[in-house]
Amino acid sequence: MNLTPAQLGQLQAAVGADCLLTDPADCWTYGYDNSRLQGRPLAVVLAESSGQIQRLLTFCIEHQLPLIPRGRGTGTTGAAVPDQGGLVLSFERMNQILHIDPANRLARVQPGLTNQALQDALRPLGFFWPPDPTSAAYCSIGGNLAYNSAGPRAVKYGTPRENTLGLSAVIGTGQVLHTGVETTKGVVGYDLTRLLIGSEGTLGLITEATLKLSPLSEAKRTLQAVYKDMDAAAQAVSAIMAQPVIPCALEMMDSAALRLVRRFSDPGLPEAAGALLMIEVDGAAAGLDQAAEALAQAASNPGLISVEIAQDEAQVKRLWKTRKSLSPALRNAAPKKINEDIVVPVSRIPELIAGLDALSRQHAIDIVNFGHAGNGNIHVNLMYDPEQGNASERAQQCLSDALVLVLRLHGTLSGEHGIGLAKRDFVAQELDPVGLEMMQAIKRQFDPHNILNPGKGLPQ
């Protein structure tokens, strides 16, 4: 299917020819995200204003064309993939910081601004926005909001939902919706801001966000704790999170992750190492050494092999070397990878890892686990070669069994990567039927014509 000449002329009039891509070669570039799923849109609109987006939505409603919002394409679940064709709406040109108000600790930004660009602008003023996904240098604020993507700092500072004061969005009726407040307290009406965050563009197209800022810490301390097995490390995580000093990062690597890193580099770890925790604490310089010692004490339990507190920047880099070596190792470990970001209660992490080890053996699929242990958000990586027999089928069955395991442990299917297409068919296994029906009704209220990113997030 292609746009007719009449439709193309109408679309150009609505958004401007200089904001429109129709060549198939250009459109394919906007047809995939980091999930490796792909589809070709009929056209791509490079948005520049809220009014332009309203006109575009009116066009899509008239012609019943899906409209798929896109940030920078770093998502891993296919939420930005035009699997039903339609039009892709790219926010890359709406990348401005509109206002920074240090006195009230807030910033107003457009959705196409990268996370890193915002942090760079805030740093000289002594502030930061807490969400810090691994892809911060490339991902957009709009994408962070669409997925509620947080990163390691969420264990102390929270997710985008806790760090966003208000939004402006074009909803599926073509109306502009303004939500939230410019204060840190406010209970007037329903919380539509938090409803839009994490909705993956299925309820509204965010055009502006008012973000809550946090002051930069005066200092930081980094610790590395090495354990004989994952059970000991998980017990340490529970102990760390049960005492008064809250870490600003608490990252975990299991034995499979450590073995993988050893294949590609020398992490300098004991041979007996079966799990590793990276711990950071920030705050005022006065008393920070005592806080680091308190974390080291909490991390010291049966099964601990070593715990080390970095004394200078060179030592910090050395301690982080193992964790930072994992990403390139994963890229080279197998031709294909399925990356999930499940969450379980912290106390259930040992059961999760043991269950995943059993599934790895059962399906003959290598599984590497790491992630944000402080809130139980574990990145589960299924590694396989699709050219080897029925490896793809075994990997998909292993994934299905892994998600069943997560729900049995009272966990959730996604902590920050979202649902998109990749996990949509599992959603009904987690959500209460009454709640799911209400969510589908909310979708119809916001998007009565089913134009906004249809088929994503919720089962059909």
pLDDT confidence tier of residue 424, bands split at 50, 70 and 90 = very high
Per-residue pLDDT, averaged over 45-57, amounts to 98
Looking at the structure, do residues 210 and 222 belong to the same domain, yes or no? no
Q: Is the pLDDT of residue 460 over 90?
A: no
Whether 280 is in a domain gets the answer yes
- Tell me, what's the pLDDT at 134? 86
Confirm if 323 and 222 have CB atoms less than 8 A apart: no
pLDDT digit string, tens, across residues 17-32? 999 999 999 999 999 9
Question: 328 lies in a domain?
Answer: no
Exposure string for 328-354, b = 16+ CB within 10 A, e = fewer: ebbeebbeebbbbbbbbebebbbbbbe
402 & 300 share domain: no
Task: Clarify whether residues 115 and 208 are in a common domain.
Answer: yes
- Model confidence at 141, pLDDT cuts 50, 70, 90, reads very high
Helix axes 313-333, 255-264, angle to 10 degrees: 90
Whether residue 456 is contained in a domain is answered as no
Residue 327 lies in a domain: no
Amino acid at 72: R
pLDDT(1) > 80: no
Instruction: Give the pLDDT band (50/70/90) at residue 321.
Output: confident
Give yes or no: residues 146 and 44 share one domain. Answer: no
**Could you tell me the residue range of the domain that residue 432 belongs to?**
334-449
Q: Is residue 428 part of a domain?
A: yes
CA 389, 393, 397, 399 torsion-angle sign: positive
Are 102 and 211 within one domain? Answer: yes
Closest to 163 measured CA to CA, from 211, 99, 215 = 211
Band of the pLDDT at 333, cuts 50, 70, 90? Answer: confident
313 and 232, same structural domain?
yes
Examine the domain organization and report whether 150 and 116 are in the same domain: yes
| Number of domain units in the chain | 4
CA angle (307 as vertex; 305, 312 as ends), nearest 5: 145
* Lowest-pLDDT choice from 155-159, 191-195, 435-439, 456-460: 456-460
Residues 67 and 117 in one domain: no
The band of 456, judged by pLDDT with boundaries at 50, 70 and 90, is very high
Please return the burial class of 420, using the count of CB atoms within 10 Å of its CB with bins 0-12, 13-18 and 19+: buried
Does residue 223 fall inside a structural domain?
A: yes
- The CATH number for 68's domain is 3.30.43.10
Q: Single out the residue in 168, 191, 215 at which a domain terminates.
A: 215
- Residue 83 pLDDT exceeds 90: yes
316 lies in some domain: yes
Kindly report the CATH number assigned to the domain that includes residue 402.
3.30.70.2740
> Which of 286, 320, 354 delimits the end of a domain?
320
Q: Which of 195, 215, 235 is the last residue of a domain?
A: 215
